[in-house]
Amino acid sequence: MSFLEVFQYTRQDSVMHRLDPRSKLVLSIVCATVSMMFMEIIPLLMVFTCLLPLIAAAKSLGRWAKSMKGLGALLVFVLVFNTLLSPMEYPFSYSLSLAIRLVALMTSFSLFFLTVQPDQLSQALIQMRVKFEFAFAMSMAMRYVPTLGQEAYAIMDAQRARGVELDKGNIVKRIRNIIPIIVPLIIVSIRRALSIAESMESRGFGVSENRTYMEMLRFRKRDWALVLSSLLILILVIYVRFFVGLPGWMMWNLPF
Amino acid sequence: MALIEFADFSFKYLGADSLALKRIKLTIDNGEYVVITGPSGCGKTTFCRAINALVPQFHRGYVAGNVYTDGKNTREYEVATFASVAGLVFQNPENQLVTLDVEKEIAFGPENLGVAPSEIRRRVEELIELLDLEELREKHPHEMSGGEQQRVAIAATLALKPKVLVADEPTSNLDPQSAEAILEIIAHLNKRGMAVVLVEHRLDLVAKDASRIILMDKGRIVADGDPREVLAMDLCEEIGVGVPKATQVYKRLKTRGIELGNVPLTGVELAELVQEATSR
């Protein structure tokens, strides 16, 4: 699952990281929409080549390349199956564009998730008038994922030590093996939740109607510039795609 | 007015068979360093929770008598009212860190209470310096050791500017070295004027700094006073309190008829007393 890394926040100091999460959300959605609008190889490659410098601006090319390598098997799968099963005139060209589109879509969204810290995301939601409690619940879920993971491993070890054979047997048996892991995990988590609640309560969680925030996200000039240029590009692409029509050379296909 | 006053306070958790606290009567004043100790299940944790109204507001149950913290009855005000009076630090640091980095964690409490952003920023910087958290500033809780996490938890509690720090076995999940560091920080805070209520088993490490030791057993206070007086009692051994090694030596010598005069709490004190006695 290493290709999922491209959706994981990495702490960096880059132009992309410093932008407001809201403007990056617009950028990601525009990039994704544009890549969804084409089924031809050349325009998709053009979208893709526009995305690469953005990833570079986030100083994450290395990470991106690694993830794409992890995605390799899936891409080959897409290529082979679509080529074999597609009813299209040029099945290979069609599957190739599907594969490029998949990469472009993933890259578009990774622009957002690579550069937005979960806390920032919840702050953005709060400033978009989502209730603090909901936004905070989301960032807390992120916070406790590794903790729960660790706990699950500890429980697995404890059960193994008592002779539960977790990795043996057929599919049904393996699924049933989850029970001795999941039951203690739920109980431990409920206990943990109570103790977390105690700590949060002691620090005044939810008491004041006028909760303040040490740092508010600020929409700066560069954010406006990014949003406006993204939207402009979107409009331009829609115009060319639907009203003018693509020039002939862009419709080029492989002859098979 | 006392900072904390227990007036004949009893409490029983919902569904429990026996009282967790039985008719507790005591007062704690500003600037004190109170160490509470006793066997597990003796009511220490409930005592801490009663100070900031977690008992009886968060943990429900049977209540008799009253607790006044900063003059306010804990039965009448909600837990958050006491957030800026009594700061609680709990056993498991992992469960006290709810945000994704240190700065946000420290800011969490004051943000909840609606403190102005510039003031929050000031407190964050001050506490990062006081507790030496500069290197951890942007770390995820998951990337920290238990001792580091507990230091952050203390900072997050202090950000509310409480008058008393109530720490319920803050070192029980830590290795000896980190434990010692945390206890040093707590002693330092007390020297700066903050009242401290600390539940701790390792009296070897804290008895020398404490101004008062309270012994609890089965929900009752069985001894309360100057550390030297309390630890010299035979009661300590009877209920199984971890008396400091130096004090144990003093007691053994006493049963053999050798009187050292004062009760030592540390090895250094013991050495001095022995030197004095032999040179006499």
Best of B74, B108, B112 to disrupt the A interface (most A CBs within 10 Å) is B112
| Amino acid A1: pLDDT | 56
Considering the domain architecture, whether residues B71 and B138 belong to the same structural domain is answered as yes
Question: Closest to A203 (Cβ–Cβ): which among B114, B124, B156?
Answer: B156
Confidence of residue B259 (pLDDT cuts 50, 70, 90): confident
Token pair of B146 as six digits:
């238990």
Nearest CA in chain A to B81: A204
Contact between B275 and B236 (Cβ < 8 Å): no
Q: Do B96 and A117 touch (CB under 8 A)?
A: no
Question: Closest to A211 (Cβ–Cβ): which among B111, B116, B153?
Answer: B111
Give A11's contacts in chain B (Cβ within 8 Å): 138
Considering the domain architecture, whether residues B157 and B26 belong to the same structural domain is answered as yes
Considering the domain architecture, whether residues B53 and B181 belong to the same structural domain is answered as yes
Q: How far from chain centre, in Å, is Cα A115?
A: 10
Q: How far from chain centre, in Å, is Cα A112?
A: 7
Is B236 inside a domain boundary?
Answer: no
**CATH number of domain containing B206:** 3.40.50.300
Amino acid at B165: L
Is A209 inside a domain boundary?
Answer: no
Considering the domain architecture, whether residues A57 and A154 belong to the same structural domain is answered as no
Give the number of A-B residue pairs with CB atoms closer than 8 Å. 102
Question: What average pLDDT does the segment B200-205 reach?
Answer: 92
Question: Closest to A203 (Cβ–Cβ): which among B58, B104, B160?
Answer: B160
Is A79 inside a domain boundary?
Answer: yes
In Å, how far is A66's CA from the nearest CA of chain B? 23
| Amino acid B261: pLDDT | 85
Is A94 inside a domain boundary?
Answer: yes
| Amino acid A111: pLDDT | 92
Contact between B101 and B139 (Cβ < 8 Å): yes
Confidence of residue B256 (pLDDT cuts 50, 70, 90): very high
Considering the domain architecture, whether residues A17 and A109 belong to the same structural domain is answered as yes
A13 Cβ under 8 Å from any chain B Cβ: no
Considering the domain architecture, whether residues B46 and B185 belong to the same structural domain is answered as yes
pTM, rounded to two decimals: 0.87
Q: Say whether the peptide bond before residue B56 is cis (omega within 30 degrees of 0).
A: yes
| Amino acid A167: pLDDT | 79
| Amino acid A220: pLDDT | 92
Q: pLDDT, tens digit, for every residue of B11-61?
A: 999 999 999 999 999 999 999 999 999 999 899 999 999 999 999 999 999
Considering the domain architecture, whether residues A145 and A69 belong to the same structural domain is answered as no
Considering the domain architecture, whether residues B205 and B272 belong to the same structural domain is answered as no
Contact between B150 and B93 (Cβ < 8 Å): yes
Question: Closest to A202 (Cβ–Cβ): which among B79, B117, B124?
Answer: B79
Is B279 inside a domain boundary?
Answer: yes
Confidence of residue B204 (pLDDT cuts 50, 70, 90): very high
Is A97 inside a domain boundary?
Answer: yes
ipTM score here? 0.91
Amino acid at A164: V
Considering the domain architecture, whether residues B125 and B222 belong to the same structural domain is answered as yes
A218 Cβ under 8 Å from any chain B Cβ: no
Contact between A78 and A98 (Cβ < 8 Å): yes
Is B144 inside a domain boundary?
Answer: yes
Task: Please list the rounded mean pLDDT of every run of 10 residues in chain A (256 residues).
Answer: 77 90 95 92 92 92 89 89 86 90 93 90 92 92 90 93 85 86 95 95 89 92 96 95 86 79
Q: Pick from B235, B251, B197, B252: which is nearest to B46 by CA? A: B197
Q: Do A143 and B99 touch (CB under 8 A)?
A: yes
Is B17 inside a domain boundary?
Answer: yes
A9 Cβ under 8 Å from any chain B Cβ: no
Percentage above 70 pLDDT, chain B: 100
Question: Which pairing describes strands B86-89 and B164-168: parallel, antiparallel, or unpaired?
Answer: parallel
Give B54's contacts in chain A (Cβ within 8 Å): 198, 201-202
| Amino acid A48: pLDDT | 93
Considering the domain architecture, whether residues B225 and B274 belong to the same structural domain is answered as no
Considering the domain architecture, whether residues B277 and B186 belong to the same structural domain is answered as no
Question: Closest to B98 (Cβ–Cβ): which among A200, A208, A210?
Answer: A200
Considering the domain architecture, whether residues A43 and A80 belong to the same structural domain is answered as yes
Best of B79, B123, B144, B145 to disrupt the A interface (most A CBs within 10 Å) is B79
Considering the domain architecture, whether residues A11 and A47 belong to the same structural domain is answered as yes
| Amino acid A11: pLDDT | 84
Longest Cα–Cα distance in chain B:
64
Phi, psi of B43 (to 5 degrees): 105, 10
Considering the domain architecture, whether residues B150 and B279 belong to the same structural domain is answered as no
In Å, how far is A2's CA from the nearest CA of chain B? 20
pLDDT at B231 over 80: yes
Contact between B153 and B166 (Cβ < 8 Å): no
Is B239 inside a domain boundary?
Answer: no
Considering the domain architecture, whether residues B73 and B177 belong to the same structural domain is answered as yes
Nearest CA in chain A to B124: A214
Query: How many domains is chain A built from?
Result: 2
Query: How many domains is chain B built from?
Result: 2
Best of A150, A199, A213 to disrupt the B interface (most B CBs within 10 Å) is A199
Nearest CA in chain B to A139: B99
Q: Do A199 and B108 touch (CB under 8 A)?
A: no
Considering the domain architecture, whether residues B39 and B91 belong to the same structural domain is answered as yes
Question: Which pairing describes strands B72-73 and B61-69: parallel, antiparallel, or unpaired?
Answer: antiparallel
| Structural domain that includes position B254 | 244-280
Considering the domain architecture, whether residues A58 and A133 belong to the same structural domain is answered as no
Q: Do B99 and A139 touch (CB under 8 A)?
A: yes
| Structural domain that includes position A233 | 2-116+218-251
Confidence of residue B195 (pLDDT cuts 50, 70, 90): very high
SS3 B212: strand
Give chain A as a 3 state SS string: CHHHHHHCCCCCCCHHHHCCHHHHHHHHHHHHHHHHCCCCHHHHHHHHHHHHHHHHHCCCHHHHHHHHHHHHHHHHHHHHHHHHHCCCCCHHHHHHHHHHHHHHHHHHHHHHHHHCCHHHHHHHHHHCCCCHHHHHHHHHHHHHHHHHHHHHHHHHHHHHHCCCCCCCCCHHHHHHCCHHHHHHHHHHHHHHHHHHHHHHHHCCCCCCCCCCCCCCCCCCHHHHHHHHHHHHHHHHHHHHHHHHCCCHHHHCCCCC
Nearest CA in chain A to B122: A214
Best of B88, B100, B143 to disrupt the A interface (most A CBs within 10 Å) is B100
Is A24 inside a domain boundary?
Answer: yes
Burial state string for B162-174 with b = 16 or more CB within 10 A and e = fewer than 16: bbbbbbbbbbebb
Confidence of residue B91 (pLDDT cuts 50, 70, 90): very high
Considering the domain architecture, whether residues B151 and B248 belong to the same structural domain is answered as no
Element (DSSP H or E) covering residue B179: helix B176-191
Question: Closest to B95 (Cβ–Cβ): which among A118, A139, A199?
Answer: A199
Question: What average pLDDT does the segment B74-99 reach?
Answer: 94
Instruction: Compute the mean pLDDT over every residue in chain B, rounded to the nearest whole number.
Output: 94
